[in-house]
Chain A
Amino acid sequence: MLVVGGGCAGMRAAIEASDLGADVAIVSKIHPVRSHSGAAEGGINAALGNSAEDNPEMHAFDTVKGSDYLGDQDAIEVFTAEAPGDIYQLEHWGCFFTRNEEGKLAQRPFGAAGSPRTIFAADITGHVLIQVLYEQVMKRDIPVYDEFFAWRLVEEDGSCVGVVCWDLVHGGLKLLSGKSVVLATGGAGRLFRATTNAYACTGDGMAMALRAGLPLKDMEFMQFHPTTLYPSGILLTEGCRGEGAYLINSENDRFMAKYAPNAMELASRDVVSRSEQTEIDEGRGVNGSIYLDMRHLGAEKILTRLPGSRELAMTYAGTDPIYDPVLVRPGAHYHMGGVETDNVGATELDGLYAAGEVACVSVHGANRLGGNSLMETITFGRRAGRTAAEQALAKGPGVTAPRSALDDAERDLKTVLDRVEGERPWKIRDELGASMLENFGVFRREEQMTAQIGIIDGLRERYEHVVVEDKGDVFNSDLTQALELGYLLDLAGVMMKAGVARKESRGAHARPHDYPQRDDENFLKHSITYLREGDTELSWKDVRMTRWQPEERKY
């Protein structure tokens, strides 16, 4: 069994599979501890009820409402019911969580949560999760093929049987076989110039699945996080606001009172980002940003609960939040959409599973709640790991991916590497990032989206002729970065297709100029996009509802 991707979801899947007795390996283009799960800051949600009364039903309702009713409710109920057990298991494995005075796991308030539900480790929660999961991987001696860049899924007789990878350290394509394959490659924030995401977040798994003919679900929903540093886009956690920080405009006004009088700064992320963008667009911003003010929290709280955020603000913005407010703006953060899976991680292709940000179960619908993504990686990483392992164990002995897949890949890659005349990829990458932010950002207009489709087509045409300057075998990141750009371009195409077609405003997809309202009659549906012989196709799929009917969403 192969797990592609070594972040929280991938490692959790591999651990589960190993414990079930499967012969599992992790394949990752960067070492597992370098994965972007480790950059998650604020926390992980489970209804433990350690700070106030809470239960999985409340967690489920908050998630459904946060999703703007686009989340699949059966998946959400499974998720919130199993989350507490998964947290206790992480704690038993040695996870370094912050404690309350009683010595139990502390829980902090987070956006759009009805109870303080977010378990955390100061503001480095993702880091401590990555560490504890990699510790467990080492304990089990799970083989890790790190710096193996996954390029193609291999199919045989209607099943996924392996992956073709570029061996970054030694060079050359390698064919890895598996009776089942779990995709856990994370998101695609690098589509946007202003993003919290790492350089590695280039949507590899989503694009590989798309190219293999699989459906991607809800790809128009990209979450913009309300507090990313100006100008770098580096994340400052929602935990800042959870601990009590204010958002202030250039007139020194706590503007959230206008947009979410009850929840204020702790409204859901789509609401806060839109409010900020409105303030900025109406001229009450500073350098296209607004202020995050933590000064009233006091040094003690900032130093013990938010030391990482302070360090980030000091290093990348030159501002010490103990003494001065920090300039922040909305930045691309999390892809609610992804490879369509069921509640146990299975995709449409036999033998292929997906978990974490690459997948769309869908727990997050049109807008994810802060703290739910880390929890999703653990709960659905475990579930996908279990099903994939069971399938691998049930199949007869031995599986070998067909050699022809490797030959095809080698031929195609040679075409890329042999090219000596033409444009290098970086300009295309920069133009893609800038235009996506301009035309598919917090607010979306029909004419901008249509224009963006043309821009993407033009960039794809140029991409057909790009040149990889490095012709060497060893650590050829010039090649892998060019391949990553190919992934991003394919994903941008399907995102625009779904974005134009969704003629309503829901969650992170806001069209205030032509379709300002949510339209449950026509669009309480998931968008499903395919790539068919180079063309993007779109269909719709009903949301799975159990107990909550759509209501007006106010915070």
Chain B
Amino acid sequence: MKVALKIWRFDPALGEKALRDYEVDAPEEATLLDVLDIVKDRVDGSLAYRKSCRMMICGSCGMRMDGGAVLACKTRMYEIAEAGHVPVISAMGNLPVIKDLVVDLAPFWEKMRAIQPYLRPGYADPGDTEHVITPAEMDVVHKEALCINCGCCTSECNSLEADPEFLGPAALAKGMRFVGDPRDGHTVERLESYSQEHGIWDCTRCYFCQQRCPKGVDPRDAIAKLGAEAMKHGIDRDMGAKHAKWFVTSAKTTGWLRETELVPKTQGIARSIKEIPFAMQLLKKGKVPPPVPPHVAKDVDQARALYDLVKQQGRDGAAGIVQGERALERIEFVEEQERRKK
């Protein structure tokens, strides 16, 4: 098949960027990486990109296709070429470009190092044998363990674009890898550290990382798990944590979100005073429900019962989110089977 591409080239010697057109013959099963290989072999030997395993596990070939991060080796070209689409290939975002499609991953690894990316065991010493851990306990971090450090999430992260010091999705997912590991003895210390400025609560929940992760690590969910674990351990000084906490308090007390109190509960009284003029405008337009008497939902007892159940079964923290993910996977699988039957 004929495959056409546009590639953003960058020549470091001249500091020049250029969008170039390429068209090559490729076998029908070709991936984007195969097509780049053909271009490099037969058209231009100076084209630079990273590659190694070509089976989605080494994480070398992260790059952007039409503005979104992909693994080149995972991206099949058949349908794109058949549709007559000419994709634009460029280097990953949020990282300095070295040449063509090759980026400098030093900032990526710097963030990784900042989260203490290795098991820090507690006092329990299993001696000359393994730790005994049930499959369910170990399963908590099964997604985070899939991360191949390709950088696709980092490339797409909106918070990182606004704040280059943000720890970012890959490093935080790695953090969850250890927070959720029963063998690690420094959970509280880790959560304290990840909860600081540029940490957990600076994620804007845009879910771009989750959408673009080629391995199903789901970094945004990992950050949510860290948040839940932090709250469980009473680490809730950050405004983001306070904000989340008020949602829970609202749900269990009234069954509704108590919006009027959300600002003072999140930002504190002093900072809320500054918001009074804005609140007055909202009030005038009828956008602020009066806080007293509180608006209590008819079935608030059910919300309270749910809250009690989660506490009782110890499913606050990351465990509850993991359980939810598993349930969703099961539902998706059943739906897939039903579809196939039809």
Q: Which positions in A face B, CB cutoff 8 Å?
A: 30-31, 33-36, 38-39, 85, 87-88, 91-94, 96, 98-105, 121, 124, 126-128, 131-132, 135-136, 138-139, 169, 198-200, 231-232, 234-235, 299, 303, 308, 311-312, 315-316, 323, 424, 426, 468-470, 472-478
Q: How far is the CB of B146 from the nearest CB of chain A, in Å?
A: 7
Q: List residues of chain B with CB within 8 A of the CB of A127.
A: 57, 146, 148
Interchain CB contact under 8 A, A478 and B57: no
Known: A34-B60, A94-B181, A127-B57. A475 touches B105 (CB 8 A): no
Contacts of A169 in B (CB 8 A): 98
Evaluate contact between A121 and B52: CB separation under 8 angstroms. no
State A469–B119 Cα separation when bound (angstroms). Answer: 46
Chain B residues within CB distance 8 Å of chain A: 11-13, 27, 29, 40-42, 44-46, 48-60, 74, 76, 98-100, 102, 105, 112-113, 117-119, 121, 126, 128-135, 137-138, 141-142, 145-149, 178, 181, 183-184, 333, 337, 340
Which 6 residue pairs are nearest across A and B when measured between Cβ atoms? A94-B119, A469-B45, A470-B46, A135-B118, A426-B41, A103-B132
A198 touches B42 (CB 8 A): no
Q: A200 — which chain B residues lie within 8 A by C-beta? A: 52
Q: Are B55 and A234 in contact (CB under 8 A)?
A: yes
Q: Give B340's nearest chain A residue, CB to CB.
A: A323
CA distance A244 to B112 in the complex (A): 39
Point out the residue from B44, B118, B146 that lies within 8 Å of A469, measured CB to CB: B44
Question: Which residue of chain A has its CB nearest to the CB of B55?
Answer: A234
In the bound complex, how far is the Cα of B12 from the Cα of A473, in angstroms? 9
- 23 of the cross-chain contacts (CB-CB < 8 Å) are A39-B57, A39-B58, A88-B129, A91-B131, A93-B118, A96-B141, A99-B135, A103-B137, A104-B132, A127-B148, A139-B118, A198-B54, A199-B53, A200-B52, A234-B55, A315-B76, A469-B44, A472-B46, A472-B99, A473-B13, A475-B48, A477-B48, A478-B40
Q: Evaluate whether A199 and B52 lie within 8 angstroms (CB atoms) in the complex, with A34-B59, A135-B119, A299-B333 already known.
A: yes
- Chain A residue with Cβ nearest B215: A311
Smallest Cβ-Cβ distance to B125: which chain A residue: A92
Q: A30-B58, A30-B60, A475-B98 are in contact. List 11 more A-B contacts (CB 8 A).
A: A30-B50, A96-B142, A96-B145, A101-B134, A124-B57, A135-B119, A136-B118, A234-B54, A472-B13, A474-B98, A475-B48
| Contact residues in B for A92 (Cβ distance below 8 Å) | 121, 126, 130-131, 183
- Which of chain A's residues have a CB closer than 8 A to the CB of B148? 33, 38, 127
Residue of A nearest to B139 (CB): A99
B57 and A91: CB pair below 8 A?
Answer: no
State which of B56, B141, B337 has its C-beta within 8 Å of the C-beta of A311: B56
A127 to B53, CA, bound (A): 12
**Contact between B134 and A99 (Cβ–Cβ < 8 Å)?**
yes
Cα distance, A235 to B59, chains bound together (Å):
17
Q: Does B55 contact A39, Cβ atoms closer than 8 Å?
A: yes
Q: How far is the CB of B76 from chain A (nearest CB, A)?
A: 7
Expressed in whole angstroms, the Cα–Cα distance for A217 and B151 within the complex equals 40
Minimum distance in angstroms from B322 CB to a CB of chain A: 14
Q: Are A38 and B98 in contact (CB under 8 A)?
A: no
Q: How far is the CA of A128 from the CA of B133 in the complex (A)?
A: 17
Are A478 and B55 in touch, CB under 8 angstroms? no
Closest approach, in angstroms, between the C-beta of A533 and any C-beta of chain B? 32
Contacts of A101 in B (CB 8 A): 134-135
Cα distance A88–B142 in the bound complex, in angstroms: 20
Q: A88-B128, A94-B178 are in contact. Are A474 and B13 (CB under 8 A)?
A: yes
The residues of A that contact B138 with a CB separation of less than 8 Å are 96, 98-99
On chain A, the residues within 8 Å of B117 by CB distance are 135, 138
A39 to B74, CA, bound (A): 15
Distance (Å) between the CB of A36 and the closest chain B CB? 6
Asked if B55 contacts A470 (CB within 8 A), the reply is no
A36 adjacent to B102 (CB under 8 Å): no
Closest Cβ–Cβ distance, residue A359 to chain B (whole Å): 21
Per a CB cutoff under 8 Å, which of B29, B55, B56 touches A231? B29
Q: Is the CB of A475 within 8 A of B99?
A: yes
Cα of A139 to Cα of B11 in the assembled complex, Å: 36
Residues of chain A contacted by B340 (CB below 8 angstroms): 323
A36 to B57, CA, bound (A): 9
With A199-B51, A232-B29 known as contacts, the answer to whether A35 contacts B58 (CB < 8 A) is: yes
Query: With A88-B130, A135-B119 in contact, is A33–B149 under 8 Å at CB?
Result: yes
- Which residues of the partner chain A approach B49 to less than 8 Å between Cβ atoms? 477
Q: Least Cβ distance of A298 to chain B in Å?
A: 12
Tell me how far the C-beta of B184 lies from the nearest C-beta in chain A, rounded to whole angstroms: 7
